[in-house]
Structure 1
Amino acid sequence: MGSTTKRLCDALLNADNIDSYFDNNADRIDIGVDLSEFLEEKLKESGLTRAELFARSSINPSYGYQLLSGLRSPARDTAVQLAFGLALDVDDTQKLLRMAKLGALYPRDRRDSIILFAISNGFTLPQTNELLFSYSMSGLSK
């Protein structure tokens, strides 16, 4: 368990009640915003249209609309593709993955570390796929 997670767990176990835990840790835990709301918020912040997001993410538009409306849940790579399409930073990408109940990008995993490097350096999805392929890793989009 990471040190931040351990601190949160300790705070939870030592809290007088669950509401005080939520109030004191609102900036560190995801409460009250679902994945589709988060994606819509980030889409609005980006200034992109939905069509532009799907093109930048290499996601079929009909599937993309289902993701944004909450009718479907993304696979992990699809969530990362959306992060690239929205040009999210590492923190927001990890938040997106948590909200989708998917595993966070893990720096000890070779493929994940390449993706984290690409995100932190502002790579696009095609640039990231090229980098993954150069290390004989599978790309993010089919």
Structure 2
Amino acid sequence: MKEPLTDELLEELLSAPDPHTFMRGHRLHARSLSDYLQQLLDEKGLRRIDVIHAAGLNETFGYQIFTGARKAGRDKVLQLAFAMRLTLRETNRLLKLAGSNELYCKNRRDAIIIFCLTNGCSLRETDDELYRFGEDTIC
């Protein structure tokens, strides 16, 4: 099931008679990175092992990220985002849940990543672009 947009939820909250009414209608809880990764796998029909391999992660480390046993740094999360072919919105949500900064278009490296992500580039193609511009690669 697709998650409602934040704007839609905000509209419902503001039109509710009180916060309790709104909360009863929505199961709002602190979502974890592993919960969101599983949701994305389900929505996109992907297998965890395939994503881990496509991301170029060590299998054990990848599984630990998916189960929440280990934290992932920003670049590891970006590797997963490219492997899952996430949208910019999904990638930023993933980064935020991982405790990392969202992609920011005023940052030169992030701008290149945003461009590549939204234009369907692979992780390797993105690293090539970053290298070409003299920026740190993701992998």
Quickly name the TM-score band, shorter chain normalised: 0.7 to 0.9
Which one-letter code corresponds to 2:55 in the other structure?
S
User: What displacement does 1:109 show?
Assistant: 0.5
Q: What is the CA–CA distance in structure 2 between the aligned matches of 1:99 and 1:20, rounded to whole Å?
A: 26
2:63 aligned partner: 65
Name the % identity: 32
Which residue of 48, 51, 54 corresponds with 1:53? 51
Q: RMSD of the alignment, in Å? A: 2.6
Amino acid at match of 2:71: S
TM-score of the two chains, using structure 2 as the length reference: 0.79
In structure 2, the residue matched to 1:37 is 35
Normalising by structure 1, we get a TM-score of 0.77
The letter for the 1-side match of 2:72 is P
Deviates more, 1:50-59 or 1:69-78: 50-59
Q: Structure 1 130/46 Cα, relative in aligned 2: closer, same or farther at 3 Å?
A: same
Cα distance in 2 between the residues matched to 1:21 and 1:81: 36
Which sections of structure 1, spanning at least 5 residues, go unmatched?
none
Paired amino acid for 1:132 = L
Give 2:92's aligned amino acid.
Q
- Equivalenced residue count is 127
Corresponding letter in the other structure for 2:98 = A
Q: What is the distance in 1 between the residues matched to 2:98 and 2:58? A: 19
